[in-house]
Amino acid sequence: MPEFFTSIAGLLEGSFLQSAALWTLRTVPGFPPIIQTVHILGIAVLMGTIVMLNLRVLGLAVRSQELTEMTKRVMPWVWSALASNLISGGFFLFARPYRYFTNPIFGWKMSFLIPAVLLTLVFYWMQKRQAGYWEQDTKHLWSARAIALVSLACWIMVAMAGRWIAYVEYLYYPA
């Protein structure tokens, strides 16, 4: 793992954020599975919104929905789900910073999350500036499809990596 990444853990270790997160996870009955479920429900919302939008661009799903309208409608849900997942994930991150910031799979997760969010932003912004931007001609349509395909792959990898964080030893310390 890059050193700057690991050093974030050093900043969080022993901080107020860590004690607050640990206190909540240990004190509130059932908090760990509840907040994990909130995290997975956030993923579900992303599946129903951004993943569906990508599938729509690829012509694989919800064909009757108009692209500009659909984008405008689902985006608030996308940002809310991302914000919610930042908070729900934050509890675990702050509670055990070294577990995450030294975990290569967590590094992978972030490496897929950043381009996934950036591609979503590009897709959204261009269409916000000009309605129907991605559908104006074949060239734009194919760019949109390329973005959708890469974005789709990234989001799936984010979810996959998220689950594998807990199984890091399967990948890095073969028995």
Partner 1 sequence: MISSFLRDPFWIDIENWPISWEIGGTSWFPFLESIHVIAAAMVVGSILFVDLRLLGLTATRYPITTLSKELIPWSWAAFVIAAITGFGMFITRAASHVVNPAFQWKMGLLALAGINMFYFHHRVYKSIHQWDTLSQTPMQIKIIGCLSLFLWSGVMLAGRWIGHII
Interatomic CA distance for residues 68 and 168, integer angstroms: 40
Task: By CB under 8 A, name the one of 11, 20, 28, 44 that touches partner 1.
Answer: 44
For position 104 contacting partner 1 by CB under 8 A, the verdict is: no
DSSP 15-51: SHHHHHHHHHHHHSTTHHHHHHHHHHHHHHHHIIIII
For position 36 contacting partner 1 by CB under 8 A, the verdict is: yes
b/e 117-141 (16+ beta carbons within 10 angstroms → b): bebbeebbeebeeeeebbeeeeeee
Q: How far is the CB of 91 from partner 1 (least distance, A)?
A: 14
For position 45 contacting partner 1 by CB under 8 A, the verdict is: yes
Contact 82, 117 (CB under 8 A): yes
For position 87 contacting partner 1 by CB under 8 A, the verdict is: no
For position 125 contacting partner 1 by CB under 8 A, the verdict is: no
Q: How far is the CB of 86 from partner 1 (least distance, A)?
A: 17
For position 33 contacting partner 1 by CB under 8 A, the verdict is: yes
Task: By CB under 8 A, name the one of 1, 69, 125, 130 that touches partner 1.
Answer: 69
Instruction: Give which of 154, 156, 134, 168 is closest to 58, Cα–Cα.
Output: 134
Amino acid at 134: W
- Spatial CB neighbours of 16, under 8 Å, sequence gap ≥ 6: none
For position 27 contacting partner 1 by CB under 8 A, the verdict is: no
Candidate segments 93-101, 124-132, 139-147, 163-171, binder of partner 1 by CB under 8 A: 163-171
Residue numbers of the site for partner 1 (CB under 8 A)? Answer: 30, 32-34, 36-37, 40-41, 43-49, 51-52, 61-65, 69, 73, 156, 159-160, 162-164, 166-167, 170-171
